Structure 1
């Protein structure tokens, strides 16, 4: 017997390269080609300087920390992340980039330990080690049983959805990247050329083209998630073209808009009974100890939990669970930190009339009046 709902965990950017990779048992060589940091282990040292020693090597579960128990308690049907890291041993750094992320394939347990079902790859770092790195990423993820969307060995593969089964029915995950996130047209998949599902713009025509792909793949009863890597790294304002694009996708049949790219959570809204998450914020990275943009408190992260009606696919519940990165590991946010994040996000959501309220259970309940 099927379920009457579909519950989904959605994460923003999961960046398991550089310092995170160096913590894990099977790391790549630490050499970097960045302007100021030349050894990935220096990112561990920055974190230790702020919050104390970190053991090495750590278990694959370490970066997730207390988030694993929180996810197990929520027991979502699906767990979906934006994996903003190539999974490769390639040493061919993509030219013209200031930052490169890669995780050693031997550290894939960092993802499987969290029970991840699908990885969005439409972002500006999955090609940090070129086509070879992308193809190895696809191979490693597939071998580990993880589905992917947003990048592929050709254009058809890049735009194809990940097909995900749940007790409440099938879910299709589509993904694409926009240039506002740093993704470039040169990394787009064209014909038989490997690459990303790339959005040239956020026009009505681009939305309609994506909707045509959705209609071609969707079967009756399918729920549809559109995952978009877009927007600036910092700031709470949502450009009108993003709102218009998201609304057009929902008008055309999308059930969840899963936005990411920003380093901190951005506004969210409910539009026609469907959740639009403009920016889920980073979840796992090695930024701890890096100064700048302190007012955004990017050490505070969110677990986003969405529940849809299995038949109508309308939103039944939207819950946010605040966590904090400390010693490159997620832990439950303290009361003061959680309240700061709730209040900040509530203020940012005022233009969308979204209410962010404490649910009395360590999380936030989201809704509209």
Structure 2
């Protein structure tokens, strides 16, 4: 079996950047908050003191052992890695991580970072080039953004135990990616204007161009709004078309909380993994979605045909800008919610030998 660790949005800018060893310029251009250190103070007001000049592993906390247990790790890095650039006009929120703090990302040992999202160009095309250069220098593979269109659509390939895992990443406007961020003659992201059959066929062609016999394929998509469990009919049709076109896993992200899970023709679809790391503690308004609760998804695939043999989800919570294991009550809430929202898609979440999708507290 091949095991994949899949995570949602990893936002290492703003407050996270400020608690690490080399905090960058804290200036922000938001409506209400103008200093990134205020996000640290918000977290402290809710959950207690947060260390400054923290160890690079601090934000990952209890997630690290679970991530490292997998053969391959795929995350969505929703942060520019740069010390410069000008804030993109027309955007309310901007994320950047000082390059000297990149050890925070490498602490998790990601094999592929998806960059096709609505924050990687927050500080302009030059900052995206900085990001690509910094990740390459750190030995990290990327997918979904590049110096031009060909580079942005080039899949990342990871070899593990004699099996190649091919990762194609792309973003859709439903996640907030501006159309002008699409890579063409210059730097940008792999952009999909709409979730149509024609666009699914184009992604299938990207897969076919690099796929070898025995390869497993992950399509990582930044799509959908920040809040809500509903999966649009066009989204579902698009995910199915991607599986039918050669993907073994659809790794969705953008929502600030987990969305439904589906298994189509034996293959995994995560419509939204939710946030993994951010600085949102102390920000209210969407408590019914419990955005403080996070998941690491651990999927086992049959290398012979790419079908899912087991999905285990590890429940975590954000406290003091760090991930820690969720309480029993929090685990129960997450499990019951995921079971309820995934049931219309034919998936039950819980314990039992007949379940493919298992929740950590039930194992």
Give the TM interval when normalised to the shorter protein: over 0.9
Displacement after TM superposition at 1:365 (Å):
7.3
Alignment of 1:33-112 (within 5 A): 33-72=29-68, 75-112=69-106
Distance 2:307 2:338 in 1: 23
Match of 2:342 in 1: 349
Distance 1:253 1:364 in 2: 33
Q: Is the 8 A contact 1:14 1:84 kept in 2?
A: yes
Distance 1:106 1:156, change over 3 A: same
Q: Is the 8 A contact 1:24 1:56 kept in 2?
A: yes
Match of 2:4 in 1: 8
Unaligned regions of 5+ residues in structure 1, if any? none
Match of 1:363 in 2: 360
Distance 1:275 1:327 in 2: 32
Displacement after TM superposition at 1:362 (Å):
6.8
Match of 1:142 in 2: 136
Q: Given the alignment of the two structures, is residue 284 of structure 1 paired with residue 277 of structure 2, yes or no?
A: yes
Q: CA RMSD in A?
A: 1.4
Match of 2:291 in 1: 298
Alignment of 1:192-207 (within 5 A): 192-207=185-200
Match of 1:119 in 2: 113
Distance 1:81 1:71 in 2: 10
Distance 2:197 2:329 in 1: 42
Unaligned regions of 5+ residues in structure 2, if any? none
Displacement after TM superposition at 1:65 (Å):
0.6
Q: Is the 8 A contact 1:6 1:168 kept in 2?
A: no
Q: Given the alignment of the two structures, is residue 335 of structure 1 paired with residue 332 of structure 2, yes or no?
A: no
Secondary structure of residue in 2 paired with 1:199: coil
Distance 1:317 1:364, change over 3 A: farther
Q: Is the 8 A contact 1:356 1:365 kept in 2?
A: no
Q: Give CA-to-partner distance per residue, 1:93-117, whole Å, 9 cap, x none.
A: 1111110000001011111111111
Match of 1:170 in 2: 164
Q: Give CA-to-partner distance per residue, 1:13-40, whole Å, 9 cap, x none.
A: 0000000000001111100000000000
Alignment of 1:174-253 (within 5 A): 174-190=168-184, 192-253=185-246
Runs of 4+ in 1 over 6 A off after TM superposition: 359-362
Query: What is the TM-score normalised by the length of structure 2?
Result: 0.97
Displacement after TM superposition at 1:91 (Å):
3.7
Match of 2:150 in 1: 156
Distance 1:214 1:55 in 2: 44
Displacement after TM superposition at 1:359 (Å):
7.1
Query: What is the TM-score normalised by the length of structure 1?
Result: 0.95
Displacement after TM superposition at 1:180 (Å):
0.3
Distance 1:364 1:267 in 2: 19
Q: Is the 8 A contact 1:356 1:364 kept in 2?
A: no
Displacement after TM superposition at 1:55 (Å):
1.3
Q: Give CA-to-partner distance per residue, 1:66-93, whole Å, 9 cap, x none.
A: 1112334xx1111110000000011411
Q: Give CA-to-partner distance per residue, 1:234-264, whole Å, 9 cap, x none.
A: 0101001010000011111110000000000
Q: Give CA-to-partner distance per residue, 1:206-237, whole Å, 9 cap, x none.
A: 11111111111111111110000000100101
Distance 1:266 1:57 in 2: 34
Q: Is the 8 A contact 2:313 2:359 kept in 1?
A: no
Displacement after TM superposition at 1:271 (Å):
0.5
After superposing the two structures, state which structure 1 stretch, 215-224 or 326-335, moved more.
215-224
Q: Is the 8 A contact 1:168 1:310 kept in 2?
A: no
Secondary structure of residue in 2 paired with 1:336: helix
Distance 1:171 1:62, change over 3 A: same
Distance 1:215 1:246 in 2: 17
Q: Is the 8 A contact 1:319 1:364 kept in 2?
A: no
Secondary structure of residue in 2 paired with 1:356: coil
Which of 256, 262, 270 is matched with 1:269 structurally?
262
Distance 2:351 2:15 in 1: 33
Distance 2:249 2:208 in 1: 15
Counting matched residue pairs gives 359
